[in-house]
Amino acid sequence: MRVLAVEAVIVPYSSLTPAPTTRVSRTIAIRDDQTLEQLHEALRLAFGWFDPHLYSFWVGGNFWDRNVPHYTAPFEIEEMGKDALSARTPIREVGLKKGSTLAYVFDFGDEWRLALKVVDTWPATAAAYPMLVDAEGIPPPQYPDLDEDD
């Protein structure tokens, strides 16, 4: 069993998810027998997003790419089309290794985008995974106050 260190960096996308003024990233260590669903939960908590929403991962790092394997919330499989796979898939079955990239979208309405990259791997220990191993910058709030009249 191996551990993958997955770095996640916020990618500015829309006016609903304003760009942070500095780089914001989190690195999560997760065992390869754990699932993308568990990685999603670790990312959600690491970025301070408290309200659960739909999410998906795309292998290769291109958001909304229908030509690559994409993994989504298990309860959303039918809505995402015949090619969608469950995020309950173990990470080792996705075939990730050092240097692999994924695109991750959290909350299809506000569309928080994260660029994910496997930055390291090592043999698993008895530690509890997933775990936050590095954090840079302060993430914007999940629901930014866009009312400029206050």
Full set of structural domains in the chain with CATH: 2-136 (3.10.290.30)
Q: Provide the pLDDT for residue 111.
A: 82
Q: Which residues contact 11 (CB under 8 A, 6 or more apart)?
A: 113, 114, 115
Rounded to whole angstroms, how far apart are CA atoms 96 and 60?
10
Q: Average pLDDT over the chain, rounded to whole? A: 85
CA distance 48 to 142: 7
Average pLDDT over residues 28-46: 95
Relative to beta strand 55-59, strand 70-72 is antiparallel
pTM: 0.85
Q: How, if at all, do strands 70-72 and 84-86 pair?
A: parallel
Q: Give me 115's structure tokens.
A: 């660029």
Confidence of residue 100 (pLDDT cuts 50, 70, 90): very high
Q: Which amino acid is residue 50, in one-letter code? A: F
